[in-house]
Amino acid sequence: MSAWQVHALKYAQRNSRTRADSFIFDDNHDAPHAMDYFIWVLRRGKEVILVDTGYDTDEATSRDRPILRDPRDALAGVGLKAEDITQLIVTHLHYDHAGGLHLFPNATIHLQEAEMAYATGPCMCHDTLKMPFTADHVCEAVKRVYQGRCVFYDGDGEVAEGVTVHCLGGHSRGLQAVRVRTEAGWLCLASDASHYYENMFENKPFPIVVDLENMLDGFVRLHKLASDRSLIIPGHDPLVTTLFPREGPDYCWRLDRGPDGKFTL
């Protein structure tokens, strides 16, 4: 079978952060550390799979975290309509990954059992663990279950030929990475299994974590899922936008051919 194309679409950024927000135990904790927000599009001929939804302007307002563009507009720029999205992998249910579920009414969602159990279970009684979730987004996922449009996975699973999901946990109980066969080899969308290259390459945990051991094991697993370390794509690292070639609109980067030039990280 032929290879998949993978594009990263940037929909938001947050610059008023420090390294303490990105790494536990960082010596340089006061230094600024920006974060980018992406959704990812997998394409092969007429097949389209969306990975994560981003969030909309209502969520942006309630969290005071503005977005650069509505996820639907981001998709329109690459020739896709939200209504036409029928397959949607949700890496986890945090607001910035599942906050646009309602924008994709025709999508079947692909989710780990552990993530649904976590987001609807007793852990959500703790404010610290609940913080990255929004009840409406979780309810939207529950509705998909009742509509018969949720495919659950327990660990590893195949979404389509050449596209598999792998539960790594750590940052969220049922966080799944997405492995995609591309022209350059097996590419792995880490999502928040590693927000930045530095998390996984330097074994530096991210502060939002439910199971630290799973997070550290996840860093190791990511290296096994991708054909090369240059093909592990962190979930929020602005470096992705400088390492990979831009294609189409100014917020879109092509990932499936690997980074431009030599990868030295």
Give the residues lining the site for Zn ion (CB under 5 A). 94, 96, 192
Nearer to Zn ion, 70 or 115 (CB): 115
* Residue whose entry in the numeric block shows the structure tokens 């370390």: 229
d(CA 35, CA 188): 19
* Residue 175 buriedness (CB in 10 A; 0-12 / 13-18 / 19+): buried
Nearer to Zn ion, 162 or 199 (CB): 199
Whether the Cβ atoms of residue 212 and residue 170 lie closer than 8 Å to each other: yes
Cα dihedral 141, 163, 114, 103 in deg (nearest 10) = -10
Provide, rounded to whole angstroms, the least separation between the CB of residue 91 and Zn ion.
8
171 CB neighbour count, 10 Å cutoff: 28
Whether the Cβ atoms of residue 195 and residue 237 lie closer than 8 Å to each other: yes
Nearer to Zn ion, 26 or 52 (CB): 52
Nearer to Zn ion, 58 or 260 (CB): 58
Which residue type does 213 have?
Answer: E
Nearer to Zn ion, 13 or 86 (CB): 13
d(CA 149, CA 168): 23
Provide, rounded to whole angstroms, the least separation between the CB of residue 125 and Zn ion.
19
Provide, rounded to whole angstroms, the least separation between the CB of residue 212 and Zn ion.
15
| Tokens at 74, concatenated | 């981001």
Provide, rounded to whole angstroms, the least separation between the CB of residue 162 and Zn ion.
25
Nearer to Zn ion, 96 or 140 (CB): 96
Provide, rounded to whole angstroms, the least separation between the CB of residue 251 and Zn ion.
17
Provide, rounded to whole angstroms, the least separation between the CB of residue 95 and Zn ion.
8
Task: Please give the C-alpha separations between residue 7 and each of 19, 21, 23, 83, 194, in angstroms, as whole numbers.
Answer: 27, 27, 27, 19, 18
